[in-house]
Structure 1
Amino acid sequence: MSRPRITSHDVARRAGVSRTTVSLVLSGSGRVALSPETRKRVMRAAEDLGYKPNSAARMLVSGNSETIGLVVSDPSILLVDAFIPQILYGIERANREMGFHVLVEGLGAEERPGAYDHLVESRRIDGLIVLNPRVGDEALVSLIEKGFPLVLVGSVRHKDEVSVTFTTRAAIGAAVEHVVALGHRRIGAVTFSPRGYTSRDARLAALGAAMVGHDLHLDEDAITDGNFSAESGHRAATTLLERRPDLTAVFAGNDTIAIGVLSAARALGRRVPEDLSVVGFDDLPFAPWLTPALTTIRTDGVRQGTIAAEMLFARLGHAALHPPRVRLEPELVLRRSTGPAPD
């Protein structure tokens, strides 16, 4: 005769608490303040009865939370950057398949020193994925050097980091070759963020290097910084085009910024692509539907997020990673926002 299935009602009766309290304790919820004694009583009752509901049960046996922390280096990005949801989807899907949960934290490292340590030491998470890290983030470097299971979506250029990023030189080089072939010689850039973000600086460096290869120079006054949002792209592009009205092509740091560049061009009476060619980066789902359809560099944020999660699972399972730093190759997608340079 089979043994009756143990339920949360049985645990509640054994611990002398409500079924809701059992659910809150076993799910690890911090929404309701429960005394340490109550939590211990519920955990002991569940263990004595052999009650093992999904991940809560595995946590009892393994001591792991089966939760990963997902840290966004600047929480304001979540409001405005359309690429981040692509990465989040890939991470969440991979975690769901593995039976893990994702704890999302917004982090301004300069405003919240020790926030990484708080996440780690609280034992709420088994590992971390950090999106868009800043070079020079000492707290993050410290975690890397301690060997904590950590994967970067981006890079801090540390020799021991585990990371997944996109290469930039080949695709940006192809984009520069494309606009130069169209006759453009005066080229500017609106970055997607202030200085200090690795991908921002890498894209700008690749643009400058590609231009040098065509005997051109990316002038300092032909560069303005956006701040993740389309609105900031509009402001930055307006400043740039008023300062340098001779520019005939602008590289936007990403497609969200490109929306702002297109808007600024319209406001200043600059037709795209007749007067100004615009190139984006990411090829987000809206890019083909902009007016005009956006020439851009295609990346795959879902794949990047999925790979980051799989790399973290490998680290949690103490599996070797070959290579520990994955570089994905983007490609140029030609649409109608680029055209021949005006006479």
Structure 2
Amino acid sequence: MKEKSVTSLDVAKLAGVSRPTVSLVLNNSKAVSLSEETKQKVRNAARVLGYKPNSAALMLRRGATNTVGLVITEGRSLQVDAFIPLLHYAIAGVMREAGYSLLLETFERKENQNPYADLVVSHRIDGLLVLSPSTDDEDLKALIEQDYPVVLIGSTGHPREHCVFTSTREGTGAAASHIMDLGHRNIGCIPFSPPGFAATDSRLRELREALSAAGIALQDDAVFHGDFSAESGHAATLALMKAKPDTTAIFAGNDTIALGVIGALTSLGLSVPGDVSVVGYDDLPFSGYIAPPLTTVGIDADKQGRMAAEMMVRRLRGEAIEETRLAMPSNFIARGSTGPVRR
């Protein structure tokens, strides 16, 4: 009977690490940082088991794949956020024209595991696009600092990042001014995700600053976070209106959340905008055609996707990139979901 060959999975189990970590150590990859203790555990396990990587497979993996990964940092958003398909379509078109395939992956963080390792360490991709990066993602930070070809769709503020993000400050300021001009002073907010996502945190901060400049404070107990879906926006709005029944205007973190906000207000017997005005973000294709048409801060998903993909192609080709942080403008669009406060 032929003896079963030792695999990297056997080494991983003995060392108490993930399989990608074994590949990282035994390939002497510098794509991510690992402690010397972890490296030694892997080497010891490989020596005990007599494991030797397949050299032919390693050579194949080290060649260019002509594939770029697009990582969605919150997998649930794929099911509910209409912004992502628009972005994906734009990125895929640019990559296809440049001769690259696009691999769509979701982000899954587990304790003591690098969520990018399977893509990066195994050389399944040549570069990585990351949507909605988190400001406290240390594994992503390590990739950026080691000059791996990463382009962020959004920004963590890292000084060495390559990114394309939408500057929502101007659009948020215009939306806040619009709401205040209509007489609203009791204002609530339903961000599109839990805290920690760069876009969520920046939109909330900008809204607070715009209102504060006019002498209006957005209180913490008037902010109820959604969780990407319209359903979560619905639940958060019910909680907001229970805590703050005098709320007359709500800023939703994006247009998907705004659908849930409007639905919740309707279920409470409140009219939009008669009783409560609603503002969204993104200007998704449906936003101008719901009832009432949604007032929103417009973000060009197609343009952002194309710009991020073009930056990635230039990185992969080794071309010089003078502006590594590209900011796109946002624009405020007033529609029927906002109106004067009811006296």
- Deviation of 1:112 after TM superposition, in Å, equals 7.5
Please say if residues 296 and 333 of structure 1, whose CA atoms lie closer than 8 Å, have aligned partners that are also in contact. yes
Tell me the residue number matched to 1:269: 269
Tell me the residue number matched to 2:306: 306
Moved beyond 6 Å, runs of 4+: none
- Deviation of 1:114 after TM superposition, in Å, equals 1.8
- Deviation of 1:322 after TM superposition, in Å, equals 2.3
Correspondences of 1:165-244 after superposition (within 5 Å): 165-244=165-244
Kindly tell me the number of residue pairs found equivalent between the two proteins. 289
- Deviation of 1:113 after TM superposition, in Å, equals 2.0
Larger radius of gyration: 1
**Cα distance between partner residues in 2 of 1:72 and 1:111:** 19
2:288 is paired with a residue whose SS is: helix
Of 150-159 and 196-205, more deviation after overlay is shown by: 150-159
Cα 1:111/1:277, change in 2 over 3 Å: farther
Tell me the residue number matched to 2:98: 98
Q: Please, what TM-score do these two structures have when normalized by structure 1?
A: 0.81
Please say if residues 235 and 264 of structure 1, whose CA atoms lie closer than 8 Å, have aligned partners that are also in contact. yes
**Cα distance between partner residues in 2 of 1:112 and 1:204:** 31
Cα 1:286/1:112, change in 2 over 3 Å: farther
Cα 1:105/1:111, change in 2 over 3 Å: farther
Tell me the residue number matched to 1:145: 145
Cα 1:111/1:95, change in 2 over 3 Å: farther
Tell me the residue number matched to 2:29: none
Correspondences of 1:1-343 after superposition (within 5 Å): 63-110=63-110, 113-343=113-343
Please say if residues 73 and 109 of structure 1, whose CA atoms lie closer than 8 Å, have aligned partners that are also in contact. no
- Deviation of 1:74 after TM superposition, in Å, equals 1.4
Q: Provide Cα deviations, 1:174-198, integer angstroms capped at 9, x if missing partner.
A: 0010011111111110000000000
- Deviation of 1:110 after TM superposition, in Å, equals 4.4
- Deviation of 1:169 after TM superposition, in Å, equals 1.3
2:278 is paired with a residue whose SS is: strand
Root mean square deviation of aligned Cα: 1.9
Letter in 2 for 1:286: F
- Deviation of 1:81 after TM superposition, in Å, equals 1.0
- Deviation of 1:111 after TM superposition, in Å, equals 5.4
Letter in 2 for 1:212: S
Q: Provide Cα deviations, 1:314-338, integer angstroms capped at 9, x if missing partner.
A: 1111112121001100100111000
**Cα distance between partner residues in 2 of 1:111 and 1:294:** 41
Q: Please, what TM-score do these two structures have when normalized by structure 2?
A: 0.81
- Structure 2: 5+ residue stretches without partners: 1-52
**Cα distance between partner residues in 1 of 2:290 and 2:261:** 12
**Cα distance between partner residues in 1 of 2:109 and 2:170:** 32
